[in-house]
Structure 1
Amino acid sequence: MCLALTLAGTSALSAKENRCGWIQNPTPGNYWLDDGEGSWILMTQGSEIEPLGMENMPDFTTGDFVQTNGYYGYACGCIEAETERSSDFGDSFLGRISAIYAVKQLPISQCRADKALPSPE
């Protein structure tokens, strides 16, 4: 019985994974990632929940970035992260990114060419 409980607890642990796609920041305090699997929340305006390592997010406006709302918009990139799957965020999101270890901004053309990704707009 103890072994079963130990294994059950272990399966809930997150592992680092690399997720690539559209990094969306349409308005202040709202960030999510749309990858080939679905959408992952990073932050929502007014929520105190934020992933560990949010300071690792670069200033996307200095690279290949599409402005859609003043200084806000989207970029293409990869996030080395831990995720937590949850239906708590509604049908639109698979879960949330709980920790960010590294972020690499990619050319917009790379995400546009990826047929597994949804349209960012």
Structure 2
Amino acid sequence: MKLSVATFLIGMLAASPLLAAETRCGWLQNPTPGNWWLDDADGTWTIMTQGAGTEPAGMELIPDISERDYVKTNGNYGYACACLSVETDKNEESITKILSFRQLALAKCENDGKLSAPQ
């Protein structure tokens, strides 16, 4: 019986996709309440949208980005340059879990030729 259970578990692990942390760096945008996304070299990754009712696990790891190097665009909202360790859903182009957050100097993103200017 032990062999059957072990074989079953190995088969399940092989058949299921393993989630792996990715480091994504770029423009972290929070233009309006409840709307967050990250623009990196691969595209735009939705973190959360107003009215969707859900936010990814780890959202609390993102502090008040306006306390560091930041561009104010709309009242108390704007964007910053950041690196996040995340899990993603590539099909949905969304961030499903935030594992860590590090805010960078704006110049880091401004000087990255792979990033488009934030809008």
Question: Smaller-chain TM-score range?
Answer: 0.7 to 0.9
Structure 1 residues 29-66: Cα deviation after superposition (integer angstroms, max 9, x where no partner): 00000000011010000012211011001110000000
Identity among equivalent positions (%) equals 48
Aligned residues between the structures? 111
Out of 46, 54, 61, the residue aligned to residue 49 of structure 1 is 54
Q: Which one of the candidate residues 62, 69, 72 is aligned to 2:67?
A: 62
Query: How far has the Cα of 1:120 moved from its partner?
Result: 0.5
Residue 76 of structure 1 and its aligned partner are, at CA, apart by 0.1
What CA RMSD, in Å, does the superposition of the two structures yield over aligned residues?
1.5
Please, which runs of 5 or more residues in structure 2 have no aligned partner? 1-7
Cα separation, 1, equivalents of 2:56 and 2:20: 14
Scaled by the length of structure 1, the TM-score of the pair is 0.85
How far apart are the structure 2 equivalents of 1:68 and 1:107?
17
TM-score by length of 2: 0.86
Secondary structure in structure 1 of the residue aligned to 2:24: strand
Mapping for residues 1-121 of structure 1, pairs under 5 Å: 6-9=13-16, 12-87=17-92, 95-121=93-119
Please identify runs of 4+ aligned residues in structure 1 that moved more than 3 A: 2-6
Q: Larger radius of gyration, structure 1 or 2?
A: 2
